[in-house]
């Protein structure tokens, strides 16, 4: 009976240690997983910050492109109008009347 009590006590102790080891492992695992979750949340926040900055830069560059496009259109119109006015002024400046060339001032 002593041997059986000893074996029973040994198995209970072994089971208790197994439970203790499992609990300890569970606590360590939980800590590691929480650290990993915190790390990933931090990385996600950084990625969101970068995305917001890129979106802001995109909006700014889009506005700059629109401004440059408007300026280009204005310069093109001015060049076309300037060429047309130059042609009109040149044709008015030099006219021929009955084969005689007159210069108007």
- Between 98 and 43, the higher pLDDT residue: 43
Q: Is residue 33 part of a domain?
A: yes
Terminal Cα distance for the chain, rounded: 138
- Say how far apart CA 85 and CA 7 lie, in whole Å: 114
State the DSSP code for 104.
-
Q: Is residue 99 part of a domain?
A: no
List pLDDT tens digits, range 2-31.
567 656 676 676 776 776 777 777 888 899
Q: Is residue 101 part of a domain?
A: no
Domain count, the chain: 1
Cα 75–Cα 76–Cα 82 angle in degrees, nearest 5 = 85
Q: Is residue 100 part of a domain?
A: no
| Residue-number span of the structural domain to which 23 is assigned | 2-94
Per-residue pLDDT band for 45 (boundaries 50, 70, 90) equals very high
Q: What is the mean pLDDT of residues 73-92?
A: 74
Query: Residue 7, SS3?
Result: helix
Q: Is residue 104 part of a domain?
A: no
Q: Is residue 102 part of a domain?
A: no
The two three-digit tokens of residue 46, written as one number? 């950084």
The dihedrals phi and psi of 98, each to the nearest 5 degrees, come to 50, 40
The two three-digit tokens of residue 10, written as one number? 């040994």
Q: Is residue 105 part of a domain?
A: no
**Neighbouring-strand partners of residue 103:** 94
**Neighbouring-strand partners of residue 101:** 96
List pLDDT tens digits, range 27-44.
888 999 999 999 999 999
């Amino acid at each position: 009976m002593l041997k059986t009590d000893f074996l029973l006590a040994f198995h209970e102790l072994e089971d208790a240690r197994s439970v203790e080891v499992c609990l300890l492992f569970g606590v360590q695992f939980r800590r590691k997983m929480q650290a990993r979750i915190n790390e990933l949340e931090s990385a996600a926040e950084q990625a969101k910050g970068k995305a917001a900055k890129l979106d802001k830069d995109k909006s700014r560059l889009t506005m700059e492109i629109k401004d440059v496009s408007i300026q280009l259109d204005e310069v093109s119109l001015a060049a076309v109008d300037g060429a047309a006015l130059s042609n009109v002024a040149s044709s008015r400046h030099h006219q021929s009347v009955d084969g005689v060339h007159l210069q108007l001032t």
